[in-house]
Amino acid sequence: MSLGAERVRETFNPSMDNNVDKIKRWTADCIDFCEEHKDLDPRLAALAMTAFEDAAMWAVKLVTTKK
């Protein structure tokens, strides 16, 4: 399992919502990209990874909120 997949807990989706799977996969890919390029600037990579995790949390909340 990649760092991105671990950070977004990609396999955890009790609602079985396809949108949640998509959000987590895209976010995991973005985090993995930052990890691959962190040698350029570790601080910026860490900030970007944290921001992606935060955005994923809000996006999951968006698609799982019932009116």
- Looking at the predicted structure, is the pLDDT value of residue 67 above 80? no
pTM of the entire predicted model: 0.92
Q: What would you report as the CA-atom Rg of the chain, rounded to the nearest whole angstrom? A: 13
Structural domain boundaries enclosing 56: 16-62
Domain count of the fold of the chain: 1
Residue 1 lies in a domain: no
Residue 22 lies in a domain: yes
Characterise 16 by phi-psi region: left (phi > 0), alpha (psi -120 to 50), beta (else): left
| pLDDT tens track for 1-57 | 999 999 999 999 999 999 999 999 999 999 999 999 999 999 999 999 999 999 999
| 67: number of Cβ within 10 Å | 2
Three-class DSSP category at 9: coil
Residue 8 lies in a domain: no
